[in-house]
Chains A and B, each alone.
Chain A
Amino acid sequence: MSTTTTLADTGQVPRRLRTLVRRAERQHFSRMLALMAPSVVFVALFFVVPIALFLFRSVDNAEIPKYMPRTVAEIGQWHADDLPPEPVFRALAEDLIALKGQPEAAVLGRRLNYAVPGFRGLVTRTVRRLPAAVPHSAIDTLADIDARWLDPTYWATLKQQSGRMTDFYLLSAMDLQRGTDGAITRVDETQAIFLSLYGRTLYTSVGVTVICLLIGYPVAAVMATAGPAAANWLLMLVLVPFWTSLLVRTTAWVVLLQTEGLVNKVLIYLGVISEPLSLMFNTAGVFIAMVHVLLPYMILPLYSVMKGVSPVHLRAASSLGAPPITVFRTVYLPLTIPGIAAGCTLVFVLAVGFYVTPALVGGPGDQMIGYFIAYFTNSAVNWGLASALGAFLIVVIAAIYLVLGKVVGFDKLKVR
């Protein structure tokens, strides 16, 4: 006790030692940082930044302020009662005249059409028909071109969407809309599809994960305990489908599962069934194909964890008189939880993003959210909505991860 006090309080040696240790640690740390730097920079540049940029699009409202600067400036004066005054009409006419013959007119039209179907046609038609100079009465001119300009809905939408940021896409992704009075309401019943898609995506993914676990756990356990030759064969059987392209495997299921397909023919031949089962274009088909595609992602992490479980523990438990069930429940299962957690996370995250397989073997009631993210990104080029849909998916996955971490323990979620 007394010696420690002397060492800490006085004397050159301990202080120099402390400095030396600190310096060594600093050097070690900076070396580590230097080694990590390339991967950190890579992840930041090619992963974090693009995702952040794309997510920003879910609130970005660039088009309207950019292409309608005069209208945006004027429309603030109007209080969304009746019709806007002449200066607002004039501003809009000036904005649209400036877009004459420009491709931006179509881009603006497309953006406005998201909010009110038909707005695109209204904008392109008006741009085409407006005279080159701003007319003396903008109200009359615009009303002459299209009577819809006398409908306050279009103006109220413009006013609402005039900010630099918008909540339009995020609301749409939740089947919500902001009325012209500013209140948030559900969208029309015939249009509300996204919430049910999220529900179905989660339900399918959880179901597939559970089935994969139930099938994969015994397989991995057998692989881990089998002799080296048998284990190699089993590993090959797991890996060969894993290396085959997703599309090929899914198409193979189409051939197998259709009404006149192999599975039905064999079952009828064996007399198990008399009428062909409908295995495709329904939820059963989606589950069968997705479980098959994702099973290796469950088996491989389980296998690697199970390989590390020493048989000595199991033997010790048995020799102390524990029946097999108890050995499994109190020794094997707890030791393999990291594998279960890793496999389930992997399968679940991959399943959430699936859309090719459900599209090919599923029915109209089996589409998943990924299909729409791809549709709005590639075909409809509505990147705002695509990123809003993606943003919610990220939030949902993060929430599930947090809940899982709280229940199982974060340290167990790591693959060791």
Chain B
Amino acid sequence: MRIHTMIATAALALCVSASMASAETITAVHNGGTVGAAQHEAFFVPFAEARGHTVVEDTFNQELAKLRSQIETGNLIWDVVSVTAINEATACEEGLLERVDWAAILDLEDFKGAGGFGECGVPNNLVSGGLVYDADVIDPADAPRTWADFWNVEKWPGKRGMLYRAEQTLEVALMADGVPPQDVMTVLSSDGGVERAFAKLEELKPHIMWWKSGDESMQNILSGEVVMTFAWNGRVATANKSNDRNLKIVFDAGHVSGSQYFAIMKGAPKLDLAKELILFSSSPKAQAQYSRLIDYAPANAEAFDLLTEAELATLPRDHLDKASFQNGQLYLNFWLDNGDTLLQRFLRFAAQ
């Protein structure tokens, strides 16, 4: 009896390994948390099912050192990585990512709204940081409409939630100072732009409650610690759904939007399979599914057509002209040149 079971098991194992011969294994990293869960469900699982491959997943919190150490030691553990625009540019320049001519494979027109292709990566979804308030606390008829309103603590008393980081926060400060969203980077990178942004932040500083993670931003507004907050739209939609709340995001006030990119590690042995996975994840169907799960806008504009009006409510589709984009040469060069200096300056400013 036992012998028979063993033989049967061995035979089964042989069959399985034979059928897996054409299937390959690829390692893809996501951003962890709710974003990672959505990437898992919308991209990696359907890809594995549809193509019969195995996708091994790992989490990457944008520590460039992890990419660099893999390239330097020649010990690649990842194939496909999900990176921010700034890390896509840096890692690409420093030879950590594979250069791919995505325009030859995908239609650039569809991705223009998300900033177009990088030299190494494909935009996958658009994260938008905007002005958020709780419609159960502030009557929408009398709600803040601009970032200047966000600064108005006389009319709307209470704490304000803001991101504990120079990047994005300085952009918001300039919008509050009356700079149109599309000119924010031009003003910030010109002489006196940084001073202007810090001066504006100084006005609101006593009322600011800084947040360091997306979870924290939602916790603070849901618990009423802050009356308004800067927050990322995917977080807002998730918080509304899971807590049955009525948070509103005011895209028209101006928002800071940036793409997350998928890219391939330099020298990845499974280059073709990696490309296949990225193409799959860039398809309108997968993109729409991702937006349903996490409510970040799809990078592929065609995916918008697959979404219902309700699903579009927290996506910035009709407000992309109100964005300060986190891509393009101006943005990338400014933050790559000044990022560390401004972070230090910001942290000192916040601590005082």
Residue B15 lies at the interface, judged by CB distance under 8 Å to chain A = no
List, in ascending order, chain A residues with CB within 8 A of B350's CB. 364-365
One of B34-42, B147-155, B283-291, B333-341 contacting the partner: B333-341
Residue B347 lies at the interface, judged by CB distance under 8 Å to chain A = yes
How far is it, in angstroms, between the C-alpha of A104 and the C-alpha of B349 when the chains are bound?
34
Residue A274 lies at the interface, judged by CB distance under 8 Å to chain B = no
Whether B63 lies near A260 (C-beta < 8 A) is: no
Whether A359 lies near B63 (C-beta < 8 A) is: no
How far is it, in angstroms, between the C-alpha of A58 and the C-alpha of B99 when the chains are bound?
32
> How many A-B contacts if CB must be within 8 Å?
85
Residue B95 lies at the interface, judged by CB distance under 8 Å to chain A = yes
Residue B62 lies at the interface, judged by CB distance under 8 Å to chain A = yes
List, in ascending order, chain B residues with CB within 8 A of A192's CB. 348
Given A113-B337, A258-B223, A259-B225, A364–B210 Cβ distance below 8 Å? yes
Whether A193 lies near B347 (C-beta < 8 A) is: yes
How far is it, in angstroms, between the C-alpha of A59 and the C-alpha of B333 when the chains are bound?
28
List, in ascending order, chain A residues with CB within 8 A of B345's CB. 190-191
Tell me, rounded to whole Å, the shortest Cβ–Cβ distance linking A355 to chain B: 12
One of B64-72, B304-312, B318-326 contacting the partner: B64-72
Residue A11 lies at the interface, judged by CB distance under 8 Å to chain B = no
Given A113-B337, A193-B344, A359–B212 Cβ distance below 8 Å? yes
Residue B301 lies at the interface, judged by CB distance under 8 Å to chain A = no
Residue B105 lies at the interface, judged by CB distance under 8 Å to chain A = no
Residue A401 lies at the interface, judged by CB distance under 8 Å to chain B = no
Residue A281 lies at the interface, judged by CB distance under 8 Å to chain B = yes
Residue B164 lies at the interface, judged by CB distance under 8 Å to chain A = yes
Residue B224 lies at the interface, judged by CB distance under 8 Å to chain A = yes
Whether B209 lies near A281 (C-beta < 8 A) is: yes
Residue A118 lies at the interface, judged by CB distance under 8 Å to chain B = yes
Whether A367 lies near B65 (C-beta < 8 A) is: no
Size category of the B interface is 20 to 34
Whether B93 lies near A378 (C-beta < 8 A) is: no
Whether B94 lies near A103 (C-beta < 8 A) is: yes
Whether A379 lies near B65 (C-beta < 8 A) is: yes
List, in ascending order, chain A residues with CB within 8 A of B224's CB. 259-260
Closest residue of chain A to B62 (Cβ to Cβ) is A379
Residue B351 lies at the interface, judged by CB distance under 8 Å to chain A = yes
Chain B positions 27-58 with a Cβ under 8 Å from a chain A Cβ: none
Size category of the A interface is 35 or more
Interface mask (A104-148 → B, CB under 8 Å = 1, otherwise 0): 111100100110011111001000000000000000000000000
- Which of A105, A117, A119, A382 neighbours the largest number of chain B CB atoms within 10 Å of its CB? A117
Given A193-B344, A364-B350, A365-B351, A118–B95 Cβ distance below 8 Å? no
How far is it, in angstroms, between the C-alpha of A9 and the C-alpha of B189 when the chains are bound?
90
How far is it, in angstroms, between the C-alpha of A209 and the C-alpha of B309 when the chains are bound?
57
Closest residue of chain A to B205 (Cβ to Cβ) is A364
Residue A40 lies at the interface, judged by CB distance under 8 Å to chain B = no
Residue B146 lies at the interface, judged by CB distance under 8 Å to chain A = no
Residue B246 lies at the interface, judged by CB distance under 8 Å to chain A = no
- Which of B94, B333, B339 neighbours the largest number of chain A CB atoms within 10 Å of its CB? B94
Whether B93 lies near A260 (C-beta < 8 A) is: no
Residue B182 lies at the interface, judged by CB distance under 8 Å to chain A = no
Residue A394 lies at the interface, judged by CB distance under 8 Å to chain B = no
Whether A379 lies near B63 (C-beta < 8 A) is: yes
Whether A191 lies near B344 (C-beta < 8 A) is: yes
How far is it, in angstroms, between the C-alpha of A269 and the C-alpha of B280 when the chains are bound?
56
Chain A positions 196-237 with a Cβ under 8 Å from a chain B Cβ: 196
Residue B240 lies at the interface, judged by CB distance under 8 Å to chain A = no
Given A259-B223, A260-B224, A377-B65, A103–B95 Cβ distance below 8 Å? yes
Residue A184 lies at the interface, judged by CB distance under 8 Å to chain B = no
How far is it, in angstroms, between the C-alpha of A62 and the C-alpha of B161 when the chains are bound?
43
Residue B90 lies at the interface, judged by CB distance under 8 Å to chain A = yes
List, in ascending order, chain B residues with CB within 8 A of A377's CB. 65
Given A103-B94, A118-B337, A191–B223 Cβ distance below 8 Å? no
List, in ascending order, chain A residues with CB within 8 A of B349's CB. 190
Whether A258 lies near B337 (C-beta < 8 A) is: no
Whether B64 lies near A191 (C-beta < 8 A) is: no
Residue A49 lies at the interface, judged by CB distance under 8 Å to chain B = no
Whether A106 lies near B90 (C-beta < 8 A) is: yes
Tell me, rounded to whole Å, the shortest Cβ–Cβ distance linking A175 to chain B: 10
Since A191-B344, A260-B225 are in contact, a sample of 13 more A-B pairs with Cβ atoms closer than 8 Å, ordered by chain A residue number, is A104-B95, A114-B340, A118-B337, A190-B349, A192-B348, A193-B351, A254-B219, A260-B224, A365-B350, A367-B351, A378-B65, A381-B65, A382-B340
Task: Write 10 A-B pairs (CB below 8 A) sorted by A numbering.
Answer: A103-B96, A117-B341, A121-B337, A191-B348, A193-B347, A259-B225, A260-B225, A281-B209, A381-B64, A381-B65
Contact residues of B with A, CB < 8 Å?
A: 62-66, 68, 90, 93-96, 164, 209-210, 212, 219, 223-225, 333, 336-341, 344-345, 347-352
Q: Which 3 A-B pairs have the closest CB atoms?
A: A103-B95, A364-B350, A106-B93
